[in-house]
């Protein structure tokens, strides 16, 4: 998929609000995943965490990490400003 400006959601529902947002802009791999993992440790199951990142590798890394850890990638988006936004539900 072209990531120039893309939004993908796991369901047709309106995007759920995140209970917490973490900023990993400017970090390169594995920084965004480490930031996300730490944030998810602090929230209860069912909560959604938003991750902001600028690392282009995060476009494939975050979904793969979510699958491997059993969490749910609710949404991923790349804005025109080059910021990737992910919403991950802790399972």
Catalytic amino acids?
Answer: 29
What residues contact residue 75 under an 8 Å CB cut-off, 6+ apart?
7, 8, 9, 10, 15, 85, 86, 87
Pairwise CA distance, residues 73 & 10, whole Å: 7
If we measure between CA atoms, which residue out of 51, 49, 52, 38 comes closest to residue 82? 52
Pairwise CA distance, residues 35 & 75, whole Å: 17
């Amino acid at each position: 998929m072209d990531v120039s400006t893309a939004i993908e959601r796991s369901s047709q529902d309106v995007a759920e609000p995140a209970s917490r947002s973490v900023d990993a802009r400017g970090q390169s791999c594995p920084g965004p995943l480490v930031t996300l993992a730490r944030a998810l440790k602090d929230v209860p199951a069912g909560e959604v965490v938003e991750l902001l990142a600028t690392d282009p590798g995060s476009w494939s890394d975050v979904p793969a990490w979510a699958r491997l850890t059993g969490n749910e990638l609710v949404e991923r988006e790349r804005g025109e400003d080059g910021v990737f936004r992910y919403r991950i539900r802790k399972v």
